[in-house]
Amino acid sequence: MSIVLVAGCSGNDSSGSAETSDAGGSTVVSAAPVSEPADTRAPDATTDTTAKAEFEPTTLTLWAGVTDPEGTVAFQGIVDRCETDNPWLTIDFVGKDDMSTALPAAIEAGNPPDLVQADFSGQLAGIDAGGLIEPIDDLFARDGLDWGAFVPGGKELVDFNGQHFGLPFSLDSAALFYNQDALTAAGIDAPPATFEELFAAAEKLLAVNADGTIERVGFVPDVGDGSYALFLTRLFGATMFSDDGATITITDNLDQWVAALQWQKQFFDLMDGDEFSRWADGLGSYDSADNFFINGQLPLYFEGSYFITWPDRFGEGKPENWGVVPMPGPDGVADADELSLIPSGNFFMIPTGVDNLDASWEALKCMALAGDEIAAFQQVYGNIPANVAALDIFEAAAVAQIPEYQTFIDLARSPAAVLPDSAVVAGALRDEVSSLILDYRRGDLSDDDLRGALEDLQARYQEELDLELGN
Amino acid sequence: MARRKRWTVLAFLSPWLIGVVVFVLYPIINSLYWSFTVKRYGQPARWVGLGNYRLLLDNPDLSMALKNTAYLAVLGLPIRLFIAILAAALLARPRRGNGAYRLLFYVPSVLPAVASGALFFFLLKQGGPVASLLDLFGIEAPLWFRDPDWAKPALIMVGTWALGDVMLIFLAGLVDIPRSLYEAVEIDGAGRWARFRYVTLPMISPVIFFTILTGVIGVLQSFDQAFVLSQGARKGRLTGEPDGSLLTYAMLQLRYFQDGRIGVASAMAWVMFLITLVITVALMTSRKRWVHTSTENA
């Protein structure tokens, strides 16, 4: 393989690169400067932000977490764009829905794909510890790329302990969905903007039948498994791991944890526990017209941006009047610039042990910086593009279609993005804290017990973490 | 000449030997080694001695997972076997439509456990067909997989539904009993109970032994239905909490796999192997006391 030179993978048809010299019959093109602030560039500015190389004809295998027909067609658009812009490149795109097991196994076996697109948010500590993915910092600096091409949360998504493990693709920023008709019927004019308003709305919206069964729940942090409840603790500044993933930090901010869980419990205390279980057990399929938000069983619902497509996809126009606002926090609704909850996101990465790192990197850049094609793809799924050029295109198209996208886009652009923290024991500890949240919610743990239980978890998992890391 | 013959035998056996060494022995020895290490995908293993085993013993979820697994084995398995014997006894008698009945019993066991779990999840949920039916009679449907009193019994019920495979084994055993034995005891004046007690039961005791042994091993590894019915490993811990939790040993093991902690997961595999070994040895030891064999017969 011979790398001949550098220039851009276009996110659209314009080149934007300057032809400067000739080397051995190959056209040599220099990359345009990349330090221009992202928010001042035109949507097609991705053309200028990357480096193009010419290689021997190369076929790369790409594993992507995209398997449904509609998404596959849209994702193929990104692939086609990069093949067009890089005539030396052929990408074999393979949809994978078992990425978390298939990828480590392939790397361990010494037969990894050349590129990967997946959601490994909150798992970077394990990726780092296993050396599964190539950090891209040297390549990024070599090609003079600028993180300004991505929203801040995108950079955060691929960052662990100061290293970056790929380029971001999408963010699933989260906010509060509300059913305006239900609010109006309950005498509530506007969606809640403070914790007090949220609790008052939850009280008013709760509908209990004469026999004690629950018809409608106003708001709960999650509908049963404790997973979003866990992430909502970040509203109170409750963290689980240090930035380097080597320390459990629960007891460092125990007061925040307790405050967060007490706040959550008050919503469940509005209802009889058994009746809530009965209500939750009777909820319809999530991916259907029986979805609890669509059919009005839960008019206030904290969820990621992807859910914005649900009313159209499954609701057949229901609920009729719905909207989205940022999730209220302890001090009211924070400006998106001050706090943005992003529970997950997707990124492109290069597994360790690939045959042709430079070729993989060129393809990775091209795919992560595509403009129109990423914007089109994310409109299928409702996630927010992480590269600024694609986001600009997406914003113009998606908001015109569904204005509620604007809230998620503002949150995705936030410089104060909060993403899942990470450690090599993260999955197990999250499971246990989620269980503990439910114990506390049901009243099986008192406030004092809660502190003790959190301290016990901290001690036990710090020991596990030390064992894993060899500390 | 003998040496040459030995090499010839080994050469013919070599495909099998290589297969066993590469695909059976090597993974077993490797997992034993890994159980004493911190091992992650992509990284060499690091020796930590008994660290993983100590960590497991400190995990309160381990005792819950073991208790749940034991519950399913001690209560669920006998119920399953009893109903399977009963069904096999009914279907062993020649009567019209027997083929169709046998098919009806067997079909559920053809369904993947995940599919049958999803089916029962739909049937038993609040507002589902079973709840609606009970409602017609003024009976409030239980929270099958959320109520601590119902979670594990409901799981046993789902497991018992798919007993076609066991039933088929019993059926083969029953059909295989020589008629002459029944005729002999009938001449001695034996009634229905005596025929069952002194002919049927001894004659199918090897089948019972086999189904208990494989059933126990199967229950110790039970994962898919509990996973589906509790909608995931974490919910397995939460469902019917605390006493009715559906968290099985294999589901707990998944928690470590999800974090890529192969060392701890391997230690769990070896703990389960030891438990299985003890139970198997106990069953094998008791075998002589209650299993009728052709050797004894002879």
pLDDT per residue over A405-442, tens digit each? 999 999 999 999 999 999 999 988 988 888 888 889 88
Q: Supply the pLDDT for residue A304.
A: 92
pLDDT in tens, A328-385: 988 777 777 788 999 999 999 999 999 999 999 999 999 999 999 999 999 998 999 9
Kindly list the residues from chain A whose CB atom is less than 8 angstroms away from the CB atom of residue B121.
Answer: none
Q: Supply the pLDDT for residue A273.
A: 87
What is the 3-state secondary structure of B247-276?
Answer: CCHHHHHHHHHHCCCHHHHHHHHHHHHHHH
Question: Would A18-172+343-418 and A174-340+423-469 be classified into the same CATH topology?
Answer: yes
With an 8 Å Cβ cutoff, are A425 and B233 in contact?
no
Name the closest residue on chain A to residue B237, using Cα atoms: A435
Q: Supply the pLDDT for residue B235.
A: 60
Kindly list the residues from chain A whose CB atom is less than 8 angstroms away from the CB atom of residue B59.
Answer: 460
The radius of gyration of chain A's CA atoms, rounded to the nearest angstrom, is 24
With an 8 Å Cβ cutoff, are A129 and B231 in contact?
no
Backbone angles phi, psi at A182, to 5 degrees: -65, -40
pLDDT of A218 over the 60 cut: yes
Looking at CA atoms only, how far is residue B15 from chain A in angstroms? 23
pLDDT confidence bin for A170, thresholds 50/70/90: very high
Mean pLDDT for B68-80 is 92
Distance CA A418, CA A157 (A): 9
Contact A126, A73 (CB under 8 A): no
> Of A75-84, A154-163, B221-230, which gets the smallest average pLDDT?
B221-230
Mean pLDDT for B97-110 is 87
How many Cβ contacts (< 8 angstroms) between chains A and B?
101
Name the closest residue on chain A to residue B50, using Cα atoms: A467
Q: Supply the pLDDT for residue A322.
A: 95
At residue A345, the 3 state secondary structure works out as: strand
Q: In CATH, what number does A18-172+343-418 get?
A: 3.40.190.10
Mean pLDDT for B146-151 is 81
pLDDT in tens, A271-316: 998 899 889 888 888 889 999 999 999 999 999 999 999 998 898 8
Distance CA B282, CA B273 (A): 14
pLDDT in tens, A230-279: 889 999 999 999 999 999 999 999 999 999 999 999 999 999 988 998 89
pLDDT in tens, A203-216: 999 999 999 999 99
Contact A53, A362 (CB under 8 A): yes
Q: In CATH, what number does A174-340+423-469 get?
A: 3.40.190.10
Distance CA A329, CA A256 (A): 13
pLDDT confidence bin for B4, thresholds 50/70/90: confident
Backbone angles phi, psi at B40, to 5 degrees: -125, 155
The residue with greater pLDDT, B294 or A209, is: A209
The average confidence (pLDDT) of chain A is 86
Report domain extents, chain A: 18-172+343-418, 174-340+423-469
CA B59 vs. chain centroid, Å, equals: 25
What domains sit in chain B, N to C, each tagged with a CATH number? 55-297 (1.10.3720.10)
What residues of A are in the B interface, CB distance below 8 Å? 100-101, 104-105, 107-108, 126, 129-132, 224-227, 274, 277-282, 284, 352, 424-428, 431-432, 434-435, 438-439, 442, 444, 460, 463-464, 467-468, 470
pLDDT of A1 over the 60 cut: no
Residues 6+ apart with CB under 8 A from B195: B182, B185, B186
With an 8 Å Cβ cutoff, are A444 and B146 in contact?
no
Report yes or no: B231 at the A interface, CB cutoff 8 Å.
yes
pLDDT of A17 over the 70 cut: no
